[in-house]
A and B are shown apart, each in its own frame.
Chain A
Amino acid sequence: MEILVCVKRVPDTSENEIGVNSAGTDIDRDDLVYSVNEWDNYAVEEAIQIVDRVGGKVTVVAVGDSESEEVLRREMAMGANDGLLLSDDSFGGSDGKGIATILKAAVKKGNYDLVLTGAQADAGAGQVGGMLAAMLDQPYASLVNSIEIINDKTLKVGREIEGGNQEMNEIQMPCVLSIQTGINEPRYVGIRGIRKVASVEIPVLGALDLGVSSGSVGSAGAKVKVQDYFVPQLGKGAEILEGSTEEIIDKLIELLKVKGGLK
């Protein structure tokens, strides 16, 4: 099975304290540590496991500047076979539709049975998977938390539903799935994997190679634009407990008792 997994380089929330920049247009990106978007990492692990079972190839693709190469290389060290970087000055400032447009062009250049994305990334919009499927005119399932291969045309996929319910679907390939965290346990990248990929060349495709017109992507093509970026004021009735974990637990128990939630 030929699988394409879309991955994004995002600020690592476990390594950074994230704050809003002084202009209030974005988070403060000075000195941030970046890594692969967590959801995407689950998607890559799932793809590797599928290929381990039924054979085939996993390709990871990222839209971004040259620094995005590091997340492609990382996912290749984890076990993806090929990497592909989609990079062009005109791609900067793309909205969700712009990113999906660029990815669609890359999908069209290959012959993929299955395209995986993470359910969402750092911006939290969760748009790309669905838009990409629509543009490709392929079936789509979101928030997928299990994949079973029925035959070379059909998959059975589980979806997480609000309230802890589970839904099972059959879906025809080629298709696009957006992957939820927890679908598997992503492996660690080992030193041997790193050595294998440390010096491989990762191909880069630009707007011309992909046949993407620059007006349709990037800030020029973006129809959704961020207007403001801030941390909301604390509302009334909300109290943030502070201190060590134990102190917080003690305070919480105390509060629950006072309000009658605990006897």
Chain B
Amino acid sequence: MNFDLTTEQKMIRREVRKFAENEIAPVALELDEKEEFSAELTRKMGEIGLFGMFVSEEYDGQALDYISYIIAVEEVARIDGSQAATIAAGNSLGIGPINYFGTKEQKKKYLPQLCRGEKLWGFGLTEPTAGSDAGGSKTTAVKEGKEWVINGSKIFITNAACELTLGVTVQAITGRRANGKPEYTCFLVEKDTPGFKAVPMHKKMMWRASNTAELYFDNVRVPEENILGKVGDGFHQMLQTLDGGRLSIGAMGLGGAQGAFDLALKYAKSREQFGQPISKFQAIGFKLADCAVEIECARNLLYKACWLRNEKRSFEKEAAMAKLYCSELMGRVANHAVQIHGGYGLMKEYNVERFYRDQKLLDIGEGTSEVQRIVISRYIGC
């Protein structure tokens, strides 16, 4: 067994960390407070190569392995959840499906701009009536001549209504299978297509600098060549996309936990009460020790899941475990981090309260913690 990262992976960690500390940290608080998505910061993240990380160079991707990608997300999440969300959703949900299931023409048309971080692409799965239960979806696509006509709506779609949005992948019901279950197909819809409307959602508790949208499809007509893969592939594509997405949500949990822990440790060493640094009180020191242990466990679990994926072995069970564990871990660590900061922890300028808020989505997005436990319990034979 070899636990060493490669030279490349180590360099990626250092350089992404440096970028995040210098470019993201100074603006994270303000963007969160103003609830503002920053196109400028997204472009900068694109310039250093944070989009298209697992896409081949032919489409201006970075052609990295999955661990490298996860390390990059982790390092951004260590500083700010919103920017990590833009990257994780941009890669796993926006770029991923086009890269894995798109035709050569679709890849040529969309991937280079997305991989350079000049444009973003949304992945529209969730509907008002279909969250954990995709079976509740109502969005449909009907074939008329050589075109497909899409009707319905989506909710909570990341990167889908900002100035950089180029379009969205939307999953729609295109018929019934022999067993009576709906047949799903994914379509690529460019943002200016008539009948398509993307409306930003505001007043979020978390990821306030990440763009979230409601999508409306009112007789949206797209040509046949906008089908992603084949008619009827939609359900499978969604499952595969979410399996990969779980690793990046895991990276957000791990990175966020590390970020909150680093802030808490630094504060505990410098804050003095009763004549000594509070880190010397067992109650504080033990909290930090527990966090350090759990972060180490989380990193090993997540990297193992990525390694399995790199090796083209089955990784789905481990991905669900890593998503669940890393997400919930960040909740525990952020909670301790605020507690260790005392009253200051509740003040925005100390940053830990942002980690505390941002964490909550990780228990909910891309399969809730309950859904992960359902998935895992099935894998272990319950």
Contacts and interface: CB of A to CB of B under 8 A. Distances in A.
The judgment on whether A and B are partners is yes
Contacts of A192: 49, 62
B236 interface: no
Contact of B64 (A14, A73, A195, A199): A195
Given A14-B21, A195-B64, A190 B47 contact: yes
B15 interface: yes
A188 B6 CA distance: 20
A12 B282 CA distance: 30
Contacts of A199: 7-8
B186 interface: no
Interface of A: 14, 35, 70, 73-74, 77, 188-192, 194-195, 198-199, 244
B348 interface: no
Given A188-B48, A189-B48, A194 B6 contact: no
A192 B349 CA distance: 34
Contacts of B8: 194-195, 198-199
A229 B72 CA distance: 39
A194 B19 CA distance: 14
Interface in B2-52: 6-8, 11-12, 14-16, 18-19, 21, 23, 47-50
B215 interface: no
Given A73-B7, A188-B48, A189-B48, A194 B21 contact: no
A245 to B, nearest CB: 9
Most interface-central of A35, A190, A191 (chain B CB within 10 A): A191
B342 to A, nearest CB: 13
B53 interface: yes
Contacts of A198: 6-8, 11
A143 B14 CA distance: 28
Lowest 4 CB-CB distances: which A-B pairs, in order? A191-B49, A198-B8, A189-B15, A190-B48
Most interface-central of A35, A70, A77, A188 (chain B CB within 10 A): A188
19 contacts: A73-B11, A188-B18, A188-B47, A190-B15, A190-B49, A191-B16, A191-B49, A191-B50, A191-B62, A191-B64, A192-B49, A192-B62, A194-B11, A194-B12, A194-B15, A195-B62, A198-B11, A199-B7, A244-B349
Interface residues of B, number: 23
A15 to B, nearest CB: 9
Nearest to B52: A191
Interface of B: 6-8, 11-12, 14-16, 18-19, 21, 23, 47-50, 53, 62-64, 68, 72, 349
Nearest to A33: B14
Contacts of B62: 191-192, 195
B7 A191 contact: no
Contacts of A77: 11, 15
A192 B63 CA distance: 9
Most interface-central of A35, A74, A77, A198 (chain B CB within 10 A): A198
A14 B14 CA distance: 13
Contacts of B14: 35, 74
Nearest to A77: B11
Given A191-B72, A192-B49, 11 more contacts: A188-B19, A190-B49, A191-B15, A191-B16, A191-B53, A191-B62, A194-B11, A195-B62, A198-B11, A199-B7, A199-B8
A188 B15 contact: yes
A39 B14 CA distance: 19
Contacts of A14: 21
A39 to B, nearest CB: 17
A192 to B, nearest CB: 5
Nearest to A245: B349
A35 B21 CA distance: 15
Contacts of B49: 190-192
B359 to A, nearest CB: 25
A14 B7 CA distance: 22
A160 B11 CA distance: 34
Contacts of A73: 7, 11
Contacts of A195: 8, 62-64
Contacts of A190: 15, 47-49
A73 B14 CA distance: 12
A230 to B, nearest CB: 22
A191 B11 CA distance: 9
Contacts of B19: 188
Contacts of B11: 70, 73-74, 77, 189, 194, 198
Contacts of B349: 244
A190 B8 CA distance: 12
Nearest to A74: B11
A190 B23 CA distance: 14
Nearest to B17: A15
A77 to B, nearest CB: 7
A18 to B, nearest CB: 14
A80 to B, nearest CB: 14
Nearest to B49: A191
A180 B68 CA distance: 34
A199 B53 CA distance: 18
A188 B47 CA distance: 9
A70 to B, nearest CB: 8
Contact of A191 (B12, B18, B23): B12
B308 to A, nearest CB: 23
